[in-house]
Amino acid sequence: MRELDRQLKLATGLYARGEAPIDLVLGVASRAISILHERAEPERWAECDGKDYWVFRADGRISRPYLPTLFEASELVFRRFWGFLIDSADPDARRFHLDVVDINRVLYSAIGSFAICYDLWKSKSRKTPGTFFEVLLGSVLKLVLPRHQRAGHVTLPGQVENVSTDIVFQRQGVKGGLVVPAKITTRERVVQPFAHQRILDSVFGENVFKSTLVCMSEMQRDDDRGAANAICVPGTIRLFQMHLARLSGIYYLDPPARYLLPDVTQVIRVATLGDLLAADLHALTET
């Protein structure tokens, strides 16, 4: 874990200076996968929405639930698919050419293994998995948006305050850009990306900036009932999308079944992160 921390700090430091430390991100993720392989025991936990969720156990602790069908437990195989992903980056088409399923699997394994390591051995550092998710996503996106500038906020003309979103890609000389709030899970913070989009609409005009919320999943372990639950707020998302501001989409690595029902998808695009990276990104960004 100390080596994991060291590599994460290196990656975070370079990322904060505007770089895309994709090899360090790979290093962190493969290390997390190999730590789990060596020191933790996978075990079936519970079913939710027809999917079987598992947990890792180690040293008397239990991890968050994860989906083994999306999780690559072998470091070697993970590294191969990571390579396929990187090699499939097409900056001219602003997309990756790898299969959607494989993109989701490699990114879910990367962030999932890291978050699970923190559940088991560093459960007090609750925010760190979110930081790694942001560095991972910002670095991967940069591979297909090399001519865009990445920042962590949008500067507002004539305002002291910035809009602090997690990831923003903008092209020099082009008004607007793509805002990518990245969250492991949303919980009550789902209001933030909608509120930020509304502010950007108000300051720059509607639809000049576009927001896509990217999340890992909404799964939570329920120890009282031995269950795995997806904590969903479909009515809230409908309400925000219709009356607060329009997001361009919500992209999950493991989308909650509830958000794929028509009452939600009629008002907002809900898909996987693989769909964003293999298809939607092109139309959401400028040349």
Q: Which of 18, 91, 146, 235 binds a second copy (CB under 8 A)?
A: 235
Residue found under tokens 């991967």: 140
Q: Closest approach of Cβ 8 to a second copy, in Å? A: 24
By CB under 8 A, the residues from 120 to 139 that bind a second copy are none
Q: Closest approach of Cβ 153 to a second copy, in Å? A: 12
Q: Which stretch binds a second copy (CB under 8 A): 7-15, 114-122, 137-145, 192-200?
A: 192-200
Distance CA 248, CA 241 (A): 10
Q: Which stretch binds a second copy (CB under 8 A): 109-117, 145-153, 241-249, 277-285?
A: 241-249
236 backbone dihedrals φ, ψ, rounded to 5°? -65, -45
Residue found under tokens 């029902």: 261
161 part of the interface to a second copy, by CB under 8 A: yes
Distance CA 258, CA 262 (A): 9
Distance CA 247, CA 62 (A): 35
Q: Which stretch binds a second copy (CB under 8 A): 29-37, 107-115, 122-130, 194-202?
A: 194-202
The DSSP bridge partners found for residue 227 are 222
Asked if residue 31 lies in contact with residue 4, where contact means CB atoms within 8 angstroms, the answer is yes
Asked if residue 124 lies in contact with residue 130, where contact means CB atoms within 8 angstroms, the answer is no
Q: Which of 2, 17, 157, 160 binds a second copy (CB under 8 A)?
A: 160
Of the pair 65, 193, the CB lying nearest a second copy is at 193
Asked if residue 276 lies in contact with residue 249, where contact means CB atoms within 8 angstroms, the answer is yes
244 part of the interface to a second copy, by CB under 8 A: yes
Residues that bind a second copy (CB under 8 A): 156, 159-161, 163, 188-189, 191-192, 194-195, 198-199, 202-203, 235-236, 238-240, 242-244
